[in-house]
Amino acid sequence: MKVIDHLQASAGKTLFSVEILPPLKGKSIESIFNILDPLMGFKPSFVDVTYHREEYVYKKRENGLLEKFSIRKRPGTVSICAAILNHYRVDPVPHIICGGFSKEETENALVELSYLGIDNLLLLRGDAIKSENAFEPHPSGHHYALDLVKQVANMNKGIYLDEDLQDVTPSDFCTGVAGYPEKHFESPNLKSDLRFLKAKIDAGADYIVTQMFFDNQKFFDFVDKCREIGITVPIIPGLKPLTTSKQTTVLPKIFHVDLPEALADEIDKCKSEKEVKEVGIEWCIQQSIELKKAGVPCLHYYTMGSAEVTCRIAGKVF
Ligand code: FAD
């Protein structure tokens, strides 16, 4: 079932969904089931699976020279989605990114997904890899998520890259895109970022999932601004509980989000990491309760490889 159909069928009830990461290479699919088993008790409507690009590492050889290797630490997005569908009969949402793919490779990946019966996608640009200063598209790939949305919208109309294909079956994907209540870090201002977000919706995206935020007012203002410029699709808040004191500096640095003073003050008062985790969980519970009360279509949790915290939050909210 498509995410948009879940949202429409919910009749105003706030749904529950999660995002998981593929395990580090070398781990088994059981590690995914270990995360998802306890979460299934809360009946997630869909499960997002992130995509992780290659990285370059240097290894020292016996002769003292450094050798450059391309590695993917967390492969398996598509097969994990297939496993989720088979094992739980829950709708998986693979993240599809522009970075590292030609349009042809993207098209072939989409064909494979449709053969697997996976009809939901979250379409993203992806970030620059560590060795790049800024995002660089594949020479025959997409520069922006907007172009990926257009490619999928075309396939949904039966327009494939090879115009000579005969008797084609249109794909039938439901697509989500990312939105940033505190603006995307490369964008000069929120207005410009929203203009490009609207372009993704106008090109055919069905819904928006937001970057994490810790101040609900930022989400409410973002939704208001989206509505003002004519974005009418569902906007799903993405939530991540803060669980370690290190995250007070890491999350703003990596995800370009602010921590409200009240949250930072509470964490400053903590005497142990255990206390920090409790403060973070309680903050996320209060955020969730307020968002649910405001009638958000779904609460989407970034599990970051652990079910325990999300289960505790969901247990208080759903
Ligand atoms: P875009 O929509 O392409 O926007 C990127 C920037 O370009 C923005 O500043 C935008 O304003 C600007 N822009 C957009 N279109 C145009 C245009 N036509 N002309 C000029 N400027 C334009 N990354 C991964 O690698 N794997 C994942 O699985 C993953 N999952 C994510 C899930 C969520 C919910 C979110 C919020 C992010 C995720 N990311 C993931 C990170 C994401 O790839 C990065 O934030 C990336 O930097 C931007 O992706 P985007 O799809 O928002 O890009």
Cβ(238) – ligand 1 distance below 6 Å: yes
Tell me the CATH number at 102.
3.20.20.220
Cβ(97) – ligand 1 distance below 6 Å: yes
pLDDT at residue 57, rounded to an integer = 86
Cβ(127) – ligand 1 distance below 6 Å: yes
Distance of CA 65 from the midpoint of ligand 1 (Å):
37
pLDDT at residue 104, rounded to an integer = 98
Closest atom, ligand 1, to C-alpha of 144: 3
At 236, which helix (H) or strand (E)? strand 235-239
State pLDDT tens for residues 150-174: 999 999 999 999 989 999 999 999 9
Beta-bridge partners for 94: 49
Closest atom, ligand 1, to C-alpha of 302: 34
Query: Which residues have C-beta within 8 Å of that of residue 60, sequence separation ≥ 6?
Result: 66, 67
* Nearest CA owner, ligand 1 atom 51: 124
In angstroms, the CA 102 to CA 93 distance is 21
Domain total of the chain: 1
* Nearest CA owner, ligand 1 atom 11: 193
pLDDT at residue 58, rounded to an integer = 87
Is residue 187 within 8 A of residue 159, CB to CB? The reply is: no
Per-position b or e across 238-276, b if 16+ CB within 10 A of its CB: bbbbbbebebbeebeeebebebeeebeebbeeeeeeeeb
Kindly report the pTM of this predicted structure: 0.97
Terminal CA-CA length for the chain: 22
**Is residue 305 predicted with pLDDT exceeding 90?**
no
Q: Residue 69 — pLDDT band, cuts 50, 70, 90? A: confident
What amino acid is encoded at 101 in this protein? Answer: F
pLDDT at residue 131, rounded to an integer = 83
Q: Residue 30 — pLDDT band, cuts 50, 70, 90? A: very high
**Is residue 70 predicted with pLDDT exceeding 90?**
no
**Is residue 217 predicted with pLDDT exceeding 90?**
yes
Q: Give the up-direction half-sphere exposure of residue 190: CA atoms within 13 A in the CB hemisphere.
A: 14
Cβ(179) – ligand 1 distance below 6 Å: no
Closest atom, ligand 1, to C-alpha of 211: 36
pLDDT at residue 93, rounded to an integer = 98
Cβ(98) – ligand 1 distance below 6 Å: no
State pLDDT tens for residues 109-155: 999 999 999 999 999 999 999 888 999 999 999 999 999 999 999 99
At 93, which helix (H) or strand (E)? strand 91-97
Cβ(211) – ligand 1 distance below 6 Å: yes
Closest atom, ligand 1, to C-alpha of 51: 28
Q: Residue 98 — pLDDT band, cuts 50, 70, 90? A: very high
